[in-house]
Amino acid sequence: MRIAIMGAGAIGSLYGGFLKKAGHDVVLIGRPNHMLSISDSGLKVSGVLGEHTISIEATSNPLDVAAVDYVMITTKTYDTIRAAREAEHLVKTGAKVVVLQNGLGTERQVAKALGTTAVLRATTCFGAEIVTSGAIEVTGTGITEIGSHYDENKSAIHEFAAALREAGFQVTESENIEGVVWTKTIVNCGINPVGALTGLTNGEIHSNPALRGLVVKLVEETVRVVEALGVELTTDDPVRYTLGTAKATGNNINSMLQDIRAMKRTEIESITGAVIRIGRELGIPTPASESVYALVRALESKYLPEDDLKRDKPSLYTEELVRAMTES
């Protein structure tokens, strides 16, 4: 199977690297420095999965890549549409798209931008970070869940899930991908902003009673929004599930904190921001979420250019997202 990984940062490099080790033909597409180091010396992987050096094709120019079977988008959510459009030539020649990201509605954005329903959605519980160009550290493992909003993709789900299993990933094929995405979003809403604001690992958040209380408030607000949308979650106890995730991934520095430390844009808009906007659309107050959202945005404002702050708005309007979920 020929697979292109669009936005091959830490997570994209991890999935692409192990798919290559399993015998698939994989090309990573990412930032020039990271791709150049991988081309020169291979992808170096360290951490909980052991030490590996993987020889793999890498480029910073999507137009260097010819026909593939699958395009896996692993960018940050604010780069989703750009990545999809840069891969449009691959989709036109028959590639299916797998969107592996945080956030809400990104697979619908991709389907709309590319005019195709050959779009799968996946979530991951893996944690990884780039140590230096060409090298990643895997900090945590977990389940990869994959599904689609479009019924015609069942065979593609089976095929891609099988490839991931061959690569050593634990994979669940879900018929309730909306519930999967929202369950992951609840966890992210509860843990990520708190970690970003405090600089603490997931385990340190869990062991602090005051912060645990804040996580509970954030989760409860998000659950009220989910209930209003009529989405069936994949857990019966979202609070316990979120706190359990924080404890189980105790050494993880969550992705939002990684972004703050690296002085990059966070995904706060597509996680907490999306919940706030949907809550307003549905008349559900989210005061704790609004507070942490404002504080994370304030941290970003210390280093992001003003133009970036102004354009960091959701590309899928709230009304459209609410309509899509309530009508599905």
Domains along the chain with CATH numbers: 2-175 (3.40.50.720), 178-327 (1.10.1040.10)
Clarify whether 44 is annotated catalytic.
no
The structure's pTM equals 0.90
- Nearest partner of 268 among 125, 74, 78, 82, judged by Cα: 78
- What strands, in cross-sheet order, belong to the sheet with 70-73? 57-59, 25-29, 2-6, 70-73, 96-100, 119-124, 143-147, 170-173
- DSSP state, 105? S
pLDDT digits 0-9 by tens, 184-242: 999 999 999 999 999 999 999 999 999 999 999 999 999 999 999 999 999 999 999 99
Catalytic pick among 21, 44, 96, 184: 184
pLDDT digits 0-9 by tens, 10-36: 999 999 999 999 999 999 999 999 999
Q: Please, are residues 141 and 112 in contact by the beta-carbon 8 Å criterion?
A: no
Task: Please provide residue 242's backbone torsions phi and psi, each rounded to the nearest 5 degrees.
Answer: -65, -45
- Nearest partner of 30 among 46, 10, 15, judged by Cα: 10
